[in-house]
Amino acid sequence: MAQELLDAAIGYVAANGLTDLSLRRLATELGTSHRMLSHHFGSKEGLWVAIIHEVEQRQLALVDQMVLDRSLSPADAMRAWWQHISHPSLWPNERLFFEVYGQALHRRAGTAALLDGIVEWWLAPISAAGKAQGLSPADARASARLALAVTRGLLLDLLATEDRAGVDAAMERWIALNTRSQGQMARKGSRPSVRPG
């Protein structure tokens, strides 16, 4: 079945990377023949597109989870979100995300579509949380963008260094920066929020 093949392919690609991977090598790793991959996905490009599309869907599923729990304080919500998104079980998917991201920056064929919502899709739910805390739409959008950058920047750091303690400390610094300035900024009539999750 094509779906099983796709799942297995994503598993392998997430674990081992997609760059310079041939249909033949992938097929032997998956216990089939490259003929099958061509058959089910049309071409090599078709396989990559299917994989990337599927990973995108999984990422967006995470966004949905992200906005679920509103019972926590902003600081605790941030911590919970960070613990979730930075869990080692998600690292393979995130490595794949950054790998394809890096290639898409050069506008390679087949990767252009990946960039489409790569920031925009995340801004809506995150900035919704900001607006709920009283930010203006413009401020909420800028804060969401910043929070997204912090998350991705620290994730990139974590994947590269695997220095869990150091990256966690930076995230705590980020949380502190937001919560400490919150009272002050509230006094000025606006609040920073920036709840990345």
Partner DNA sequence: TCGCGCGTGTACCATGTGGTACATGCCTGC
Partner DNA sequence: GCAGGCATGTACCACATGGTACACGCGCGA
Residues that bind DNA (CB under 7 A): 1-2, 5, 22-25, 32-36, 38-40, 43-45
What are the DSSP E strand ranges found in 94-191? none
Residue 29 CB contacts under 8 Å (≥ 6 apart), including other chains: 12, 16
Q: How far is the CB of 144 from DNA (least distance, A)?
A: 39
- Taking CB within 5 to 8 Å according to partner kind, which of a copy of itself, DNA, none is near residue 22? DNA
Find which of a copy of itself, DNA, none residue 136 binds, CB within 5 to 8 Å per kind.
none
The answer to whether the CB of 133 falls within 8 A of the CB of 193 is yes
From DNA, a copy of itself, none, which one binds at residue 38 (CB under 5 to 8 Å depending on kind)? DNA
Q: Do 160 and 102 touch, CB atoms closer than 8 A? A: no
DSSP E strands, 26-112: none
Site of interaction with a copy of itself (CB under 8 A): 16-17, 19-20, 95, 98-106, 108, 115, 118-120, 138-139, 141-143, 145-146, 148-154, 156-157, 159-161, 163, 166-167, 169-174, 177-178, 180-181, 183-185, 192, 194
Of 105, 124, 130, 126, give the one whose Cα is nearest residue 115. Answer: 105
| Nearest alpha-carbon partner for 84 in 165, 197, 170, 187 | 197
Q: Among a copy of itself, DNA, none, what binds residue 83 when CB lies within 5 to 8 Å by partner kind?
A: none
Q: Least distance from C-beta 144 to a copy of itself, angstroms?
A: 8
**Where does 17-43 have alpha helices with state H?**
23-30, 34-41
Instruction: For residues 10 and 14, give the distance between their C-alpha atoms in angstroms, rounded to a whole number.
Output: 6
Q: Which is nearer to a copy of itself, 68 or 138 (CB)?
A: 138
Q: Are 191 and 135 in contact (CB under 8 A)?
A: yes
**Closer Cβ to a copy of itself, 61 or 149, answer by number:** 149
Nearer to DNA, 3 or 161 (CB): 3
- Shortest Å, Cβ 127 to DNA: 40
